[in-house]
Amino acid sequence: MAQYRARLRAQGMRLLQIWVPDTSAPGFDEECHRESAALAASQYAEQDQAFVDSVSQFPDEMDDE
């Protein structure tokens, strides 16, 4: 493992570890639904979605570049 990491570092890479939500945790689905419903009901829902769309790029859109 040390040699592998050394090769990656030599290529200009660095190790990054992050904590992410556990999608298998009890209540995860319910919390996602609660949060998405709250966002959809917001008076700013359209502006929020427009922002997300403006900063998002999906794989099929990358092919057009």
User: Quick one: tokens of 31?
Assistant: 């919390």
User: Tokens 């939500």 correspond to what residue?
Assistant: 21
> Looking at residues 2-7, what average pLDDT do you find?
95
What tens digit of pLDDT does each residue of 19-64 get? 999 999 999 999 999 999 999 999 999 999 999 999 998 777 666 6
The number of folded domains in the chain is 1
Termini Cα distance of the chain = 37
Exposure class string for 22-49: b at 16+ Cβ within 10 A, else e: eeeeeeeeeeeeeeeeeeeeeeeeeeee
Q: Which candidate, 35, 39, 60, places its Cα nearest to that of 51? A: 39
User: Quick one: tokens of 48?
Assistant: 């929020």
Does any domain span residue 4?
no
Look at residue 52 in the predicted model and tell me its pLDDT.
92
Q: Which domain holds residue 41?
A: 24-55
Look at residue 60 in the predicted model and tell me its pLDDT.
73
